[in-house]
Homo-oligomer: A and B are copies of this chain.
Amino acid sequence: MHRSRIRVVEDALDANATIARANRADFERAGVRVVNLMSAPGAGKTTLLERSLARLGAGNGGPRIGVLEGDVQGTLDADRLASLHVPVVQINTDPGFGGECHLDANMVRSALPALPLERLDLLVIENVGNLVCPAEFRVGEDHRVMVASVTEGEDKPLKYPLMFRACELVLVNKIDLLPHLDFDLERFLYNLDAVHPGVQRLLVSARTGEGLAPWCDWLHTAAR
């Protein structure tokens, strides 16, 4: 008789990894690349997406990009992006006890039937604003990108190292505010290299458009 060993599922993260692999298989079958975009609340993810998708001509002849919006409650961000005529689906996490503080693979999976995956080149998943738990839950993405605002202080890589380590690209946003802050950019980048040596970083201002060109190039490449 054939004997096989089955490893016991250890915890919620194991279950999450299983579902993330299923999502990933679906994404690959549909030929869509997926970016998991993370940040603290108010770091500027949505504004950055609005400006970048408009610049890339998504929904208007450019790469075919869809967005999955994760929020505890409401559809504010989805409404903002829908005006660009790209497919947008909202996930609200508030059926959890006071609202889940992150997206997990199962929440993303529940949204997939609402997305025209076969007709997308790239899906951007805008995670719930939080520097802790989103980094712990893979959702089946190809890339993890985070937005760090210069208004948040230089110490954030040291205080939330898992998030800064989990990403392959850090967008340092709101650089138009640098003249008005006591923010030491060199120290921030030093701290960033301390927790994730050499990680790619781009300085941007979603508000003024400064630095958006290389970030849009990155998105364009990710979309193939």
Contact = CB atoms under 8 A, between A and B. Distances in A.
Interface residues of A, number: 42
A133 B72 CA distance: 11
Interface in A76-131: 76-77, 97-101, 128-131
B155 A130 contact: no
B72 A159 contact: yes
A218 interface: no
Contacts of A176: 180
Interface stretch (A27-35, A60-68, A145-153): A145-153
Contacts of A11: 97
A175 interface: no
Interface of A: 11, 13, 40-42, 71-74, 76-77, 97-101, 128-133, 135-136, 149, 151-153, 155-156, 158-162, 174, 176-177, 180-182, 207
14 contacts: A40-B40, A40-B41, A42-B149, A42-B151, A71-B159, A76-B158, A76-B159, A98-B135, A99-B160, A101-B133, A128-B132, A177-B180, A177-B181, A182-B207
